[in-house]
């Protein structure tokens, strides 16, 4: 699993975070702005604390929030973090800390990407479907002109109306 896959997985599980209420009270534009002021930090030592990360990146600009994702089953940190700054310029400054040593590990610093709902960079199957055995190939897609979802199974599209 590469770093962008891990980032997607965390953002997908974000509702389980203690900050979920804050995240969902934000408008779409506010979330995008927050992402533009945030960085992804990979290869973070599992014993690192939010305070240590805040102190390490504080020279780049005022840190609003540090998020260290945890595995919800084991309770252990996942080895990466997100840091939100007050200003966008701080992201550029923080990028200079890419490939530097933090708690004895070389960290990876990248601008945080905005997660687009319903869009995944990886699929379960390279053909765009889920495999359930021989001859089965299914995928879901949305037709904006018809206002409904379709399930494609074995070459045929079947409408599936979303009740939400």
Question: Which of 13-17, 62-66, 74-78, 143-147 is the least confident region?
Answer: 13-17
Decide: 95 and 60 in contact? Cβ < 8 Å.
no
> What are the two backbone dihedrals, phi and then psi, of residue 85, each rounded to the nearest 5 degrees?
-100, 170
- Delineate the domains of the chain, giving CATH numbers in brackets: 3-111 (3.30.70.330), 123-164 (no CATH)
| Spatial CA neighbour of 48 closest among 14, 77, 19, 74 | 77
CA–CA dist 140, 122 (Å, integer): 15
Structure tokens at 99: 């490939």
CA–CA dist 11, 69 (Å, integer): 9
pLDDT in tens, 80-132: 999 999 999 999 999 999 999 999 999 999 999 877 666 555 545 445 444 44
pTM over 0.75, yes/no: no
pLDDT over 60 at 157, yes or no: no
């Amino acid at each position: 699993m590469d770093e962008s896959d891990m980032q997607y997985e965390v953002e997908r599980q974000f509702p389980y975070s203690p900050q979920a209420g804050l995240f969902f009270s934000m408008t779409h534009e506010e979330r995008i702005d927050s992402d533009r002021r945030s960085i992804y930090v990979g290869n973070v030592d599992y014993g690192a604390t939010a305070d240590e990360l805040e102190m390490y990146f504080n020279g780049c600009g005022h840190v609003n929030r540090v998020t260290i994702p945890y595995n919800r089953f084991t309770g252990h940190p996942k080895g990466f973090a997100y840091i939100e700054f007050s200003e966008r310029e701080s992201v550029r400054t923080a990028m200079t800390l890419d490939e530097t040593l933090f708690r004895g590990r070389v960290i990876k610093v990248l601008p945080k990407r905005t997660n687009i709902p319903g869009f995944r960079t990886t699929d379960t199957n390279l053909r765009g479907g889920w495999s359930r055995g021989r001859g089965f190939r299914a995928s879901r897609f949305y037709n904006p002109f018809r206002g409904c979802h379709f399930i494609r199974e074995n070459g045929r599209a079947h409408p599936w109306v979303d009740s939400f």
